[in-house]
């Protein structure tokens, strides 16, 4: 059995390797091959998106395992061959092969992500139900949908949520309001506007590990108004005994570590009762930087 993470809420970023973090998250002298280990000293989860494009080599998976402590939690997307090309159908062998390659990290993977394309709509719910029913029962899954009908608060969305509750699958929540509130005046914001889904935020926990992907505004303080609702919802989930995953992005992710910890500290102030949220901090030299604005 996996060792449960010590923290009631898992905080992470969209990646663990980013050149801009050399002087902040990693610190001077950190080699590229040591970035995951250094990242895991600060954050306790990460989005593993590269698996969407192709499964890694098993030797790489073993290196990721060796670089992280027992209570670290990855989240990995299922390959696009399963979710997009095959639409969750006729993919038993692809799924088995993927889990075989990823097996060294099975105990360290907190959430396996099923990201579905925008054209995967209500008519495909039977395929999703069949797929979820044959997944390994001891693993935890999250589903991210993008079809407009699943955000319309109608019968189609209710059917999706009932299915996820019945199968104990988490609905992954994309909060892209901050980045879409930013004017498209930089290459990073323009790219985010083109690639990120612009969907309503429906903060529902269909299982025990609700996952939030917060796509931040490039202006640091502009994020606070959008995060205010999460300062209410997350403590409520924690009080109910749920263990949320909170991932913080920014358009270029250059200041994502600083934003993540600043917002997390706001959340700490809201969680005054059990479970307490332990401190998370960057290396001392990073927090001393004028770019890191402490609360």
Domain presence at residue 262 = yes
Domain presence at residue 96 = yes
Per-residue model confidence (pLDDT) at position 295: 41
Question: 4 versus 72: which is more confidently predicted?
Answer: 72
Domain presence at residue 295 = no
Least confident span in 1-15, 69-83, 174-188, 246-260: 1-15
274 falls in which pLDDT band (50, 70, 90)? low
Domain coverage including residue 223: 10-287
Domain presence at residue 80 = yes
Tokens of 198: 């612009």
Instruction: Indicate the average pLDDT of the chain.
Output: 92
Domain presence at residue 292 = no
Per-residue model confidence (pLDDT) at position 290: 54
Tens digits of residue pLDDT in 48-81: 999 999 999 999 999 999 999 999 999 999 999 9
Domain presence at residue 253 = yes
Per-residue model confidence (pLDDT) at position 23: 85
Per-residue model confidence (pLDDT) at position 294: 46
CATH code, 144: 3.20.20.410
Per-residue model confidence (pLDDT) at position 291: 53
Domain presence at residue 246 = yes
Q: Measure the CA–CA gap between 235 and 229, rounded to whole angstroms.
A: 10
Does the pLDDT at position 46 exceed 90? yes
Q: Give mean pLDDT, residues 12-27.
A: 94
Q: Measure the CA–CA gap between 92 and 98, rounded to whole angstroms.
A: 10
157-190 burial, b at 16+ Cβ within 10 Å, e below that, comes to beebeebbeebebbbbbbbbbbbeebeeeeebbe
Per-residue model confidence (pLDDT) at position 5: 62
Q: Tell me how many domains the chain contains.
A: 1
Per-residue model confidence (pLDDT) at position 276: 79
Tens digits of residue pLDDT in 179-231: 999 999 999 999 999 999 899 999 999 999 999 999 999 999 999 999 999 99
Q: Measure the CA–CA gap between 64 and 86, rounded to whole angstroms.
A: 28
Tens digits of residue pLDDT in 77-129: 999 999 999 999 999 999 999 999 999 999 999 999 999 999 999 999 999 99
Domain presence at residue 2 = no
pTM: 0.93
């Amino acid at each position: 059995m996996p060792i449960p993470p010590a923290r009631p809420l898992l905080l992470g970023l969209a990646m663990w390797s980013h050149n801009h973090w050399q002087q902040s998250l990693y610190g001077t002298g950190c080699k590229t091959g040591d970035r995951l280990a250094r990242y895991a000293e600060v954050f306790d989860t990460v989005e593993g998106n590269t698996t969407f494009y192709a499964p890694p080599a098993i030797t790489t998976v073993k290196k990721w395992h060796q670089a992280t402590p027992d209570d670290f939690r990855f989240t990995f997307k299922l390959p696009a061959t399963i979710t997009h090309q095959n639409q969750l159908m006729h993919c038993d062998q692809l799924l088995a092969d993927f889990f075989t390659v990823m097996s060294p990290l099975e105990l360290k993977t907190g959430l396996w992500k099923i990201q579905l394309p925008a054209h995967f709509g209500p008519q495909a719910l039977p395929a999703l139900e069949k797929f979820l029913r044959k997944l390994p029962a001891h693993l935890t899954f999250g589903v991210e949908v993008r079809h407009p009908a699943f955000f319309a608060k109608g019968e189609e969305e209710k059917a999706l949520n009932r299915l996820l509750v019945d199968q104990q699958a988490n609905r992954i929540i994309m909060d892209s309001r901050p980045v879409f509130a930013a004017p498209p005046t930089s290459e990073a914001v323009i790219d985010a506007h083109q690639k990120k889904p612009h969907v309503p935020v429906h903060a529902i926990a269909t299982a025990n590990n609700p996952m939030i992907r917060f796509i931040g505004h490039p202006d640091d303080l502009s994020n606070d108004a959008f995060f205010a609702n999460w300062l209410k919802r997350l403590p409520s989930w924690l009080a109910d005994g749920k263990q949320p995953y909170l991932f913080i992005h920014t358009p270029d992710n250059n200041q994502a570590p600083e934003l993540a910890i600043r917002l997390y500290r706001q959340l700490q102030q809201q969680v005054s009762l059990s479970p307490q949220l332990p401190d998370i901090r960057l290396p001392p030299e990073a927090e001393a930087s004028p770019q890191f604005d402490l609360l």
